[in-house]
């Protein structure tokens, strides 16, 4: 029977077809609930597999929680986000005025409000370029001072390429290793701080050494020691005072932690004086 452009087949026997089996009284029909295969895992799933789907409860959520100004949710990407560029993009989302303002706070160590002002938007842009600038300034200033000292005494001078590699290892290593070590200590004493916040704090604390290195071209040993000491004390006070209010919650041992932070920053300035501010002919 034809209906328009379609052909319908009546309920009749067709050659080669299998007749439909009718429900008999002794058979039980099974019905399956509707499900949506596009949604996995299903909401409200139970069991060990669903319970283990998320990260550990004591895991650090530094790179998983959204930063202010970001529209991404914490569950997008999970743990694998730390291996993507998008995970670090919010920490480079600053402009020149933000970086200059944070540099100004690093030169005023007695305020102790740097952490509060950068808590909502800590950046890695400033620390990266401060460390990179320190490497080239240390290499260029050290090379120039050594060259000038050799020429004044009419001695042969050779360029030392190790000065660049040594500076890179010192500054990049210090900004990466020390905050990571401090992060573990604070977590142990139940006064945890975000790792990015510590990177930001220590990165900006090194800015004071850039003008100190530029002033080290003056050929006066006592003046170089004074410049190194002032820069080291300002940098150490900047880090210690900004972490003091946070570390007080660690209990009676907070003073020893702050003192260790202060002395470690001073030790950095002494190392810079002995290996970068020192000129031997």
Give tens-digit pLDDT for 205-215: 999 999 998 88
Give tens-digit pLDDT for 29-40: 555 455 444 444
Supply the pLDDT for residue 100.
92
Nearest residue to 141 via CA among 209, 244, 88, 216 = 216
Report how far apart, in Å, the C-alpha atoms of 265 and of each of 36, 81, 271 are. Answer: 58, 33, 10
Give the span between the Cα atoms of 265 and 270, in whole angstroms: 9
Report how far apart, in Å, the C-alpha atoms of 229 and of each of 61, 111, 178, 204, 253 are. Answer: 38, 20, 20, 18, 27
Written as six digits, the tokens of 204 are 């900006």
> Regarding predicted confidence, which is higher, 35 or 254?
254
Q: Domain boundaries in the chain?
A: 90-279
- At residue 7, the 3 state secondary structure works out as strand
Worst-scoring range by mean pLDDT, 17-21, 40-44, 163-167? 40-44
Contacts of 110 (CB under 8 A, 6+ apart): 237, 241
14: left (phi over 0), alpha (psi -120 to 50) or beta: beta
**What percent of the chain shows pLDDT beyond 90?**
26
Give tens-digit pLDDT for 83-96: 777 777 777 888 88
> Regarding predicted confidence, which is higher, 11 or 221?
221
């Amino acid at each position: 029977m034809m209906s328009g452009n379609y052909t319908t087949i009546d309920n009749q026997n067709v050659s080669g077809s299998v007749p439909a089996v009718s429900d008999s009284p002794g058979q039980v029909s099974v019905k399956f609930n509707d499900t949506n295969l596009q949604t996995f895992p299903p909401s409200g799933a139970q069991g060990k597999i669903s319970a283990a789907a998320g990260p550990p409860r004591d895991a650090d959520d530094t790179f998983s929680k959204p930063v202010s100004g970001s529209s991404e949710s914490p569950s997008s990407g999970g743990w694998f986000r730390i291996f993507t560029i998008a995970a670090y993009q919010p920490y480079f989302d600053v402009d020149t005025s933000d970086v200059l303002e944070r540099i100004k706070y690093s030169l005023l160590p007695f305020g102790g409000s740097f952490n509060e002002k950068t808590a909502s938007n800590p950046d890695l842009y400033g620390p990266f370029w401060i460390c990179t600038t320190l490497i080239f300034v240390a290499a260029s200033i050290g090379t120039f001072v050594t060259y000038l000292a050799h020429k004044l005494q009419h001695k042969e001078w050779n360029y030392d390429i190790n000065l660049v590699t040594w500076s890179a290892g010192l500054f990049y290593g210090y900004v990466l290793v020390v905050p990571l070590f401090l992060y573990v200590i604070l977590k142990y004493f139940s006064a945890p701080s975000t790792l990015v916040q510590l990177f930001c704090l220590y990165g900006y604390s090194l800015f004071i050494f850039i003008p100190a290195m530029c002033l080290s071209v003056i050929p006066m040993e006592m003046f170089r020691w004074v410049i190194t000491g002032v820069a080291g004390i300002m940098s150490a006070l900047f880090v210690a005072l900004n972490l003091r209010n946070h570390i007080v919650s660690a209990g009676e041992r907070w003073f020893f932690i702050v003192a260790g932070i202060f002395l470690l920053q001073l030790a950095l300035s002494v190392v810079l004086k002995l290996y970068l501010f020192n000129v031997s002919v």
